[in-house]
Amino acid sequence: MREPLVHRRTMLRGIGATIALPWLEAMLPRGIGPAALAATSSALAPDRSTRSVFVFFPNGMNPATWRPTAAANGAWVPSTSLLPLKGFERDITIHTGLRHQRAEANGDGPGDHARSAACFLTGVQPRKTAGDDIRAGQSIDQAMADALGTAGKGTRLRSLELGTEPAMTAGNCDSGYSCAYSANISWRSESLPNGKETDPKAAFERLFGRANLSPEEAAAQVKSRRSVLDGAAAQAKRLAGIVGRSDRERLDEYLGAVRDLERQIDSDALAEIDAKDLPEFEGGPMDLARRTDLLSQVLALALQTDSTRVITFMLANEGSNRPYHEIGISQGHHDVSHHGNDAAKMEAFTRINTFQSERLAALLTALSKAREGGRSLLDTTLVLYGSAITDGNAHNHSDLPILIAGGGARGHRGGRIVRHAPGTPLCNLHLGMAAAAGAPMSAFGDSTATISITS
């Protein structure tokens, strides 16, 4: 077969930016047409690697309103807190019975919040310390990034870490546990958390290479409304002239999505600049729903351009006591999670859980809108969503709230509840995610077996 018309790592050069391209049919070796492309699901993308996203929410949930119910046909029916996911039922599998035993005290006393975040993707009980001698374990996303890179499938970004609250690395945040544990779920090694991007603008600029600008230059560029796409128009036009119609449409749609997201982010940045001296500012980057959803759009573009294949996203730090003024809740999240059966607090807790589900729905929507090889990006991406605390009021770590979405083109069959034996390690499911991503491992954390998520 002849070389492809367009190489996978082709970039467009904008103003101070490098713009990766989405996958195009022209990136296939010449001689393979659309008919051959559609002949088998394994050819729906440049290779068979599955993108993996791990989304974490803190403080557990209200079991009375989070747990979905099973329908007569084996499908699941959304509960109050999962109602925002209505319409995605066929893409989602609910997993029950999973446990993180290493998030329990095991002789270390209080500190469930710190342990649960540190354990969520590592399966390792963190060392109880508020000093600089932190120790947890490498997280599954980083083990996957290592394996995928070793397999010759390296991407421009080894991995991407996102969140809405700062990635602290010092201080005592939970009963003698370092803030590093509560504020990070991605661990490069047992003593090195990865940190995360919390600003959509910074995440966007990291993705498109505009991060080298000074703060003054970045602010000036925002105010001048110059785009990362400025300067790339001629290159895009030349590219459109050599690819087929479907690729031209895909390219136009992608560049339009980049520009639209940039406008939204820059609009918020301008509002922040204009309001920086005000004591309070409603809207813009300070609106949690908008900021989280913009981060989700950056996430989708990162996967669509194959800039990375492994992403983590913390909806908030573990133990977060942020009030949710966006939905009329002035009490802190952690406070209402310890509701003590107080009806008002339980109702507020449910509304926060529902708000979190809305953010997941926005992420799934962003993935479903992006197209790749005739399918949505959601079909080639597996999203694990959950918490390492079950009942926020009880601080338990058994029968965790866990679901997996997407991956239909890779064999994941949603629309059902999968019941595991009580106490099954969550790390067994992590192994299933790794296997589906093309990075199989024999063991991880406290795993005892691999849960296949593609059967």
Q: What is the pLDDT of residue 48?
A: 52
Q: For residue 9, name the pLDDT band (cuts at 50, 70, 90).
A: low
- With a CB cutoff of 8 Å and minimum separation 6, the contacts of 380 are 44, 45, 50, 51, 372, 373, 406, 407, 409, 410
Q: What is the pLDDT of residue 151?
A: 64
Average pLDDT in the chain: 86
- Is residue 91, in this structure, part of any structural domain at all? yes
Pull the structure tokens for residue 129.
């310390």
- Are 394 and 367 within 8 A, CB to CB? no
- Is residue 442, in this structure, part of any structural domain at all? no
Average the pLDDT over each of 1-10, 31-40, 69-78, 436-445 and give the range with the smallest value. Answer: 31-40
* Tens-place pLDDT, residues 46-66: 455 689 999 999 999 999 999
**What is the total count of domains within the chain?**
1
89: containing domain: 2-436
- Alpha-helical regions (H) of 33-139: 34-37, 63-66, 112-120
- Is residue 110, in this structure, part of any structural domain at all? yes
Place of tokens 């109602």: 83
H or E segment and range at residue 298: helix 288-304
Which three-class secondary structure state does DSSP give residue 107? coil
Q: In percent, how much of the chain has pLDDT > 70?
A: 84
* Tens-place pLDDT, residues 229-277: 776 777 877 888 888 888 888 888 888 888 888 888 877 654 554 444 4
- Is residue 448, in this structure, part of any structural domain at all? no
User: Is 60 exceeded by the pLDDT of residue 424?
Assistant: yes
- Is residue 450, in this structure, part of any structural domain at all? no
Of residues 157 and 406, more confidently modeled:
406
Q: Which residues of 438-448 are buried (b: 16+ CB within 10 A; e: fewer)?
A: bbeeeebbbbe
User: Is 70 exceeded by the pLDDT of residue 312?
Assistant: yes
Q: What is the pLDDT of residue 46?
A: 44
Count Cβ atoms below 10 Å from residue 248 Cβ, excluding itself.
17
Type of residue numbered 9: R
- Is residue 301, in this structure, part of any structural domain at all? yes
Pull the structure tokens for residue 50.
């599955």
* Tens-place pLDDT, residues 397-420: 999 999 999 999 889 999 999 999
* Tens-place pLDDT, residues 105-146: 999 999 999 999 999 999 999 999 999 999 999 999 999 999
- Is residue 452, in this structure, part of any structural domain at all? no
- Is residue 327, in this structure, part of any structural domain at all? yes
- Are 190 and 137 within 8 A, CB to CB? yes
Q: How far is CA 401 from CA 191, 267, 334, 384, 404, in A?
A: 27, 36, 17, 11, 11
Q: How many residues does the chain have?
A: 455
- Are 58 and 333 within 8 A, CB to CB? yes
What's the whole-number mean pLDDT along residues 154-175? 91
